[in-house]
Structure 1
Amino acid sequence: MASVSIPTSNCYAFDNSSRLVDFSGWSGYLFEYDQQQGSDLIVRFCKDVESRSQTGYVGFGRFDKFNNFVAGSGQHDFMQEYYNGDLMGCEQSYDKMGRTAQVNMVCGSCSNGLCKGRPGCICNVTHESNCRVLVDLAIPCDKPGPHVFQGFTVGFHPRSWELVYNGLTQIGFEEPHHDFSFHTGQTQVVLFMTAVASLSSLVQKPSLKVHPDKGLEVRLSGSAIKGMPPTTLSPSMLIVDWRCEVARDTPYEVNITIPVQGYEPIQFVLTKQCDYTQDPGGGRTRGWAIFGVLSCIFLSLQHSFVVEGSFTRRKWNGSVELMLCLA
């Protein structure tokens, strides 16, 4: 089963059932609406919103990739926010973001009968003010994708998410990448897992699969292996200990799977470079035996001393034998 990877663009969203819907193919697509008032409204999907007229154009915001393409409510399937448009006359509006736009999306056709013969269109435009516009947009939507465990992260630090962010495997760890390989001398990698506390009990114990299956010894440990639920305040640790037993030109692939009850499993790939083999103590060997020669010298030392007590005075002869070994 392949990992649920981040889409090729930021033009994606999760529906109300946490299923991934990818709109990357629509990114930049131009929708035009004739307002019959001397200007047209343009939506460049996942890019920007602007009003065009003979005197020029006015920007109503640019697409913000962070948490501004979300599931909608009521009759709308999705909602997008566009921020930081033109400032003139709107310097103090909407938290000082200038002109802004909200695009309410419907998967299918407009209720007013528009979009006939076209792959989507703008159904209606409402100006809340000179500084904010609401756009109703109909667009064909792809079939919802995998059920993603949103809010889950995996990173190299308790508050980072280099490997998995919001349930999606990040670029570089969705498949083997030589540029992301760990070097031979790094015998241990510590990963931190977090999840929404109310859903953390759904996370199961991780497992691994190595390719090729011989030549790299890998062992998992840490609180994640013991079944500790990962939360934001108390991340669980997944410790990967690995040792190169057979050197090879291409990296080894370590596929780690974290099952999540009711969702697609979390999967990512770690690659390990083995330029040389390592002994169990973490040192290196290069394929030739090391022979040591021990030379031992026995020394016998004679020593005489006097022991004096309160009532006696005795002379004692003692001997001490030493063995000195040189490697």
Structure 2
Amino acid sequence: MQRFRYRFDLTSLHFWIVIIIAIISQALKAASVVVPSSNCYVLDNSSRIVDFGSDLVVRFCKDVESRSQTGYVDFGRFDRFNHFVAGSGQVDFVQGFYNGDLVKCEHSYDKLGRTAQVNIICGTCPNGQCKVGVGCICNVTYESTCRVFVELAIQCEKPGPRVFKGFTVGFHPRTWEIVYDGMTQLGFERSHQEFSFATEQTHVYLYMTAIASLSTLVQKPIVKTFPDIGLEVRLSGSGAAGKPPTTLSPTALVVDWRCEKARDTPYEVNITIPVEGYEPIQFTLTKMCEFTQTQDGDATRGWAIFGVLSCIFIILSALFCCGGFIYKTRVQRQHGIDALPGMTILSACLETVSGAGQGYTRAEDINSAFANEASWERPVSAQGTRRQSERKYGAI
């Protein structure tokens, strides 16, 4: 009984280890970095994404300076191209506000009106001024009337997966509709019928770029189709061969697909690009198959076989024709008949088979050889007159 229980425990342990490994493998296999639904995210110094989940609002409540325009105007607006950027030292993130409206700041040195730089610290203030709840302002410093520095402490989310920053995938060498800055864009993170490719489109060209210093980390892409039967997908191009992409020399990834089985719902084509040390780049292409498509390779092979058989037929015909007339010439020689008529017919046969003749040969031209045989006994003058009357189409 004890022995049986011991074996049972080992079997159970082995079972759970297999389950855990399978779960981890699936999680790593399916891991990819998708653009967060909110605009409140940033990459830290280690290229890990931090998603704040909701918009972070910073208000400058104390503002007694006179404005250049009447009415309520924001102190400044954040840069729409760089919502957040990674900081340095004790500052985790930095966000800038520009185009603030204040008298005598419109034509300041930075040409951006009143500006503010918010330094965000994850955790507590360095001076211990306040503990983090929702958030607190640690310090405010005015560099000038038109420029202010604000130190803000907030509770940051736990950093997420590591993003391969600088990697892009687009439909042209200089675009990034599918993957931008290492993150899969909305519309290609999963199957979307509104982003699907038509049945008639048999191939798609994708272009990949990466920072040159990190381009060697990009590995060969892997493709998987769901359902796995009904759509034939092949990858080709320099990107499929594993050539490192750079911003100056993008690599092309050609997706060739053919509908083998019609389907009401689209097929999902998941492409995974492993990156050493980072989360893999993964995106989904949606393919419609309203009808089946013939394989181009079969048609090409059919025409190739037809051409080879045609060449063989022409060669055999030429050999048969030449052999027949050579045999006929030998028979004529054995019976004391001149071989000239046979050789003339042989030449006509070769010209007909090869198509190398200069023009069409009339029936009387072939028969003229027999007429010449009868005219050999005539005087030379009569023979010359006879030959002047013989002509061929296409000859001078």
TM-score by length of 1: 0.79
1:183 and 2:198 are equivalent in the alignment: yes
Q: How far apart are residue 257 of structure 1 and its match?
A: 0.2
Query: 1:9 maps to which residue?
Result: 38
Structure 2 distance, partners of 1:22, 1:278, is 44
- Does the residue aligned with 2:363 lie in a helix, a strand or coil? strand
**Same amino acid, percent of matched pairs:** 64
Shifted more, 104-113 versus 155-164: the winner is: 104-113
Equivalent in the alignment of 2:241: 226
CA distance in 2, matches of 1:58, 1:127: 20
Say whether residues 1:313 and 2:364 are aligned partners: no
- Structure with bigger strand share is 1
Aligned residues: 280
Measured in 1, the distance between the counterparts of 2:198 and 2:64 equals: 55
Runs ≥4 in structure 1, deviation > 4 angstroms?
A: 52-58, 307-312
| CA RMSD, 1 decimal | 2.7
Asked if structure 1 preserves the Cα contact closer than 8 Å seen for 2:132 and 2:153, the reply is: no
Give the aligned residue type for 1:304.
A
Contact 2:132-2:155 at 8 Å conserved across structures? no
SS in 1 for 2:97: strand
Checking the alignment, whether the CA contact within 8 Å between 2:124 and 2:132 is kept in structure 1 is no
| Cα distance between partner residues in 2 of 1:308 and 1:84 | 102
Higher helix proportion, which one?
2
Deviations 1:150-203 (A, max 9, x none): 000000000000000000000000111111000111110000000000110000
Residue 272 of structure 1: how far off its partner (Å):
0.1
SS in 2 for 1:277: coil
For CA contacts below 8 A with separation 6 or more, give which structure has more relative contact order.
1
- Is 1:75 aligned with 2:134? no
Q: Give the CA deviation at 1:253.
A: 0.1
Maintained 8 Å contact 1:60/1:85: yes
Aligned positions of 1:155-194 closer than 5 A: 155-194=170-209
Which runs of structure 2 are paired with 1:38-49 in the superposition (5 Å)? 40-41=61-62
Could you say which residue in structure 2 is the equivalent of 1:66?
A: 81
For residues 49-90 of structure 1, give each alpha carbon's deviation from its aligned partner in whole angstroms, at most 9, with x where no partner exists.
xx3689976633211232351111122111111122215311
Could you tell me whether the CA contact under 8 Å between 1:114 and 1:121 is conserved in 2? no
User: 1:299 corresponds to which residue?
Assistant: none
Counterpart of 2:304 in structure 1 is: none
Which residue does 1:304 correspond to in 2?
A: 363
Shift of 1:30: 4.8
Counterpart residue type for residue 203 of structure 2: Q
The one-letter amino acid paired with 1:208 is V
The one-letter code of the counterpart of 1:254 is: V
Report deviation, 1:308.
Answer: 9.1
The whole-number CA distance in structure 1 between the counterparts of 2:365 and 2:125 is 114
Determine if the alignment matches structure 1 residue 90 to structure 2 residue 105: yes
Moved more, 119-128 or 217-226: 119-128
Structure 2 spans left out of the alignment, 5+ residues: 1-29, 299-360, 375-396
Residues 23 and 84 (structure 1 numbering): CA distance in 2 closer, same or farther, change over 3 Å?
Answer: same
The 5-angstrom pairing of residues 1-327 of structure 1 reads 1-25=30-54, 27-30=55-58, 40-41=61-62, 51=63, 59-86=74-101, 88-116=103-131, 118-281=133-296, 304-307=363-366, 313=372
Unaligned runs of 5+ in 1: 33-39, 42-50, 284-301, 316-327
Letter of the 2:249 counterpart: S
Report the TM-score when normalising by structure 2.
Answer: 0.66
Further displaced range: 100-109 or 115-124:
115-124
